[in-house]
Amino acid sequence: MAWNEPGGDKKDPWGGNRKNDGPPDLDEALKNFQNKINSIFGGKGGGGNGNGGSGISGGMVVVGLIVIAIVYAGFGIYQLDEQKEAVVLRLGKFHSIVGAGLHWNPPLIDQVIEHNVTGERQYIAGGLMLTEDESIVEVPVTIQYNIADIKSFVLNVNDPVVSLQHAADSALRHVVGSTELNQVLSEGRVKIATEMRQRLQDYLASYGTGINIVGINLQEGKPPAAVKDAFDDVVKAKEDQERLKNQAQSYANGIVPEARGQAQRTIEEANAYRDQVIARADGESNRFTQLLVAYDLAPTVTRERLYIDAIESVMANSSKVLVDVEGGNNMMYLPLDKLTGQASGRSSGSTNAGATQDDIRQISDLVLEQLRQDQANRTRGAR
């Protein structure tokens, strides 16, 4: 039979015998629960007497502990953005490195030290310093750097930024002190920046700072104010020298190719003249060989032909010809220029060169005919 059935004498599980059929007493159940809590924290259990105050005090303690736990957990929650990393120290000893995201570490137990590891920072160094040739110059320089190893940056050095400043000043003075003044003021700045970056990075690596040098911008060196005018004159002279060098180089770039072209053209003309002379000599040699063959076949005709050609070549360059007959007292005068002009007037439509050749040929025939007649007359007179 159930404990709450009619007529049942079962004991009520909520702490007493129930004589009726109603629902369990919630107030009584809550009071029993408080009594148990009070017994745990040293209080006394009881009904609604003076012991009820201790029960309320125990509940407040529980609520207070829960609130403290929530607050404690809330203080341990933090978030890191994409540019940051954090070093976690547990009871003062390195524990881990955490990156971007939401994290939780127990407060008062873990110490979280966060830094921006991707953003670039800068430090401006410089001042008056001596060069290799014992000149005083002021060299300002800007150094860009970031954190490459956050563990080394946080734990190895007490103040890594101060170490960076000291190392930068030392590296700059070392490099400038081994460079002449002209190089510091002009084209040597790139080399100085490169050497300084390498030396500074070696210093920081030996210190274990965890700093990475991104770049060094070496600005234009400045002389002391007392000698600034003299330095300005030197810089102006350097600029004039560079300008004259550029002009000379530009002039050389224009003259040298032209001279080379003229030299090449002269060489080509000489080669062409050589080929022309060789070809003419070969042609004359072949012509003489062919002429010898023709002379062997017909000596008389060949000699006459050669004589006529010689007369043509001579008369082509002469405007007057005097013909002397052997054994006679008369001398024949041939005005070639007038005869050529008359012949050219008659030969309309033809070139002057063609008319001249024809006239010379006709005159040559007349001269030969006259010479033959004179020779025949002398022969008859001798008989």
Q: Look up the pTM and report it.
A: 0.47
Element holding 60 (H helix, E strand): helix 52-75
pLDDT at 197: 92
What's residue 232's pLDDT?
78
Query: Where along the chain do its domains lie?
Result: 24-75, 77-116, 121-222, 299-382
**Amino acid (1-letter code) at residue 336:** L
Weakly modelled stretches of the chain, pLDDT under 50: 1-3, 5, 7-11, 13-21, 44-56, 348-355
Tokens of 307: 């004589």
Question: To which H or E segment does residue 334 belong?
Answer: strand 331-335
Write the pLDDT tens digit of every residue in 68-110.
888 888 888 888 888 899 999 988 899 899 988 888 888 888 8
| Cα gap 209→161, rounded to integer Å | 9
- At residue 40, the pLDDT reads 59
Encoded amino acid at 62, one letter: V
195 SS3 class: helix
- In this predicted structure, what is the pLDDT of residue 270? 94
Say yes or no: domain 121-222 is CATH 3.30.479.30: yes
Q: Which residues fall within 8 angstroms of residue 100, CB to CB, at 6 or more apart?
A: 80, 81, 82, 83, 84, 85
pLDDT at 128: 84
DSSP 3-state assignment of 15?
coil
Give CA–CA dist 168/199, Å, rounded: 9
